[in-house]
């Protein structure tokens, strides 16, 4: 069974750096057809894709947020980490990690983690 679980602080102050960890099980981060995404959703709003890391460690970032984001992985721990700098109240959202399965040139997001609600407030 494939599972992903997000962990990290639920409250951060403005200007601080957010560090979130996604711990995966049921698949390997070194599997050539597997990757992991980070996606967020502000309360009552739509999903927003943030970043992706491929099995070969290649990374992709949202154009609008790339200066603030860093994605990395620790294959020995089966973990993917996202850091976001200079947090602002508008970054308050539920942050999801989700597996990306690459087959026939198509990247399918499935399954998703349960998500973690991060509030930015002083």
Which of 100, 75, 95 shows the shortest CA–CA distance to 84? Answer: 95
Q: In the window 14-73, what residues touch other proteins (CB under 8 A)?
A: 37, 39, 46-49, 52, 60-63
* Minimum distance, C-beta of residue 105 to other proteins, in the bound complex (Å): 7
51 token code pair: 């970043």
In the bound state with other proteins, the residue whose beta carbon lies nearer, of 8 and 109, is 109
Cβ 40 to other proteins shortest distance, Å: 11
From residue 72 to residue 101, what is the string marking binding to other proteins with x (rule CB under 8 A)?
A: ------------------------x---x-
Q: Interface residues with other proteins (CB under 8 A)?
A: 37, 39, 46-49, 52, 60-63, 96, 100, 104-115
């Amino acid at each position: 069974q494939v599972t992903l679980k997000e962990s990290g602080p639920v409250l951060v102050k403005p200007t601080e750096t957010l560090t979130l960890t996604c711990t995966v099980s049921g698949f390997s981060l070194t599997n050539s057809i597997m990757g992991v995404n980070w996606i967020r959703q502000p309360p009552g709003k739509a999903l927003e894709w943030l970043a992706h890391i491929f099995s070969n460690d290649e990374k992709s970032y949202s154009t609008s947020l790339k200066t603030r984001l860093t994605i990395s992985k620790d294959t020995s721990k089966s973990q993917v980490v996202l850091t976001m700098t200079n947090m602002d109240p508008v970054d308050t959202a539920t942050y999801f990690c989700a597996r990306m399965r690459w087959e026939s040139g198509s990247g399918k997001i499935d399954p998703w983690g349960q998500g973690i609600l991060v509030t930015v407030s002083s």
